[in-house]
């Protein structure tokens, strides 16, 4: 088992563990095989479903990979708010001829967490990461004993400190630009629309001053030059999701892949419309009509809208789907995953070479024209 983040793969590039069938074994194997770090998403899967995908992935590659777990969530506290939202969705139910299921306030709140932990301790994998919270020290110590490297997602410096105190080996710093669900440790509806989220580069700086463990940077990254920027800012690795979502190996619906560069979808927005938790999606009809009314009720809203989203996909209606996407979605390139890793590495090396040339130029320039401290070349003055 690798003992450090830099031992996991040849290149400082990880593929984000996108749940819902996107981050399947074929994708993780292609990324790991190309020298990056591929991830399986265990979220929304049974423990056995997770285990079967791990076995499949091991048959496709002998390179290190990771498995991502969702942390247990509180039981639904306000069932009335979900029922009001159900009424709001009655028109969708009729349009797609899909009934809205009754909601069990305890359905899916633990996502099979304990059963998945047991499997991963008994048959260890190289990396386990966590989303929607921080596991206990006992859990992280247990993984350390079997040689598994652990990563906890954080969206603030305080969350990163909590991960370090609990014993995580690294922290995945998720900027507000990231597609899909924000991995906040506590879902606070009072923060909705307040601009409380922090951009990735600023967040890396804050976290770097708050913790001593390695940083994985995530949020809107689509090019090797952007990877170079987050590495220069203090991250040890970059994690990309939307960039890999459009690859042939991704399990995303073809409509979802096409939407990334479809001129009909011009922007993204954080919304609770599809799941009840803040997540960044392309703005479509469903988000516009229902986002303002969606309650803070994850995963109840996720289960409530699941049938509608599947029906929309089946009928070819991208306007009714959850089109998770980071802010850099228009830069998506439909390349095979392994080739995309190679292109990103080439861009990263070119960006680094350019920084070296800038350093040489700046060293010969008058002092008043020197780049700012802390970052190479023109990046130092720009950030």
Question: pLDDT value at position 122?
Answer: 98
In the chain the first and final C-alpha atoms are separated, in Å, by 37
Question: pLDDT value at position 253?
Answer: 98
Give me the residue label for tokens 């009754």.
102
Q: Which residues of the chain have pLDDT under 70?
A: 1-3, 194-196, 355-383
Residue in 165, 171, 279, 150 with CA at minimum distance from that of residue 217: 171
Phi, psi of 93 (to 5 degrees): -60, -40
Question: pLDDT value at position 1?
Answer: 54
For the record, the structure tokens of 101 come out as 């299921």
Give CA–CA dist 175/242, Å, rounded: 14
Question: pLDDT value at position 380?
Answer: 35
């Amino acid at each position: 088992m690798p003992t450090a983040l830099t031992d996991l793969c040849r290149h400082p590039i990880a593929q984000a563990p996108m749940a819902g069938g996107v981050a399947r074994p074929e994708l993780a194997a292609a990324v790991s095989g190309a020298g990056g770090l591929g991830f399986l998403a265990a979220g929304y899967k049974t423990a056995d479903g997770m285990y079967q995908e791990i076995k499949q992935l091991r048959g496709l590659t002998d390179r290190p990979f990771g498995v991502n777990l969702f942390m247990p969530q509180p039981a639904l506290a306000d069932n009335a708010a979900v029922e009001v939202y159900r009424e709001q969705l009655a028109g969708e139910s009729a349009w797609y001829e899909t009934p809205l299921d009754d909601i069990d306030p305890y359905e899916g709140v633990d996502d099979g967490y304990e059963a998945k932990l047991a499997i991963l301790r008994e048959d260890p994998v190289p990396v386990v990461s966590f989303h929607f919270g921080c596991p206990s020290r006992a859990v992280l110590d247990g993984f350390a004993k079997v040689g598994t490297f652990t990563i906890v997602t954080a969206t603030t410096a305080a969350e990163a400190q909590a991960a370090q105190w609990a014993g995580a080996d690294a922290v995945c710093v998720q900027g507000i630009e990231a597609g899909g669900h924000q991995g906040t440790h506590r879902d606070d509806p009072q923060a909705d629309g307040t601009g409380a989220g922090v951009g990735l580069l600023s967040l890396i700086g804050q976290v770097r001053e708050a913790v001593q463990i390695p940083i994985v940077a995530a949020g809107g990254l689509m090019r090797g030059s952007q990877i170079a920027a987050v590495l220069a800012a203090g991250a040890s690795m970059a994690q990309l999701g939307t960039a890999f979502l459009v690859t042939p190996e991704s399990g995303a619906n073809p409509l979802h892949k096409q939407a990334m560069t479809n001129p009909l979808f011009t922007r993204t927005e954080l919304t609770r419309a599809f799941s009840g938790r803040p997540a960044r999606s392309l703005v479509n009809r469903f988000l516009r009509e229902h986002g303002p009314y969606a309650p803070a009720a994850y995963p109840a809203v996720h289960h409530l809208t699941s049938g509608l989203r599947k029906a929309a996909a089946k009928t070819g209606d991208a306007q009714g789907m959850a089109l998770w996407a980071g802010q850099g979605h228009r830069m998506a390139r439909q390349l095979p995953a392994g080739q995309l890793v190679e292109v990103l590495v080439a861009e990263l090396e070119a960006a680094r070479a350019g920084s070296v040339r800038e350093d040489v130029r700046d060293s010969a320039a008058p002092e008043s024209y020197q780049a700012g401290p802390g970052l190479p070349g023109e990046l130092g003055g720009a950030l």
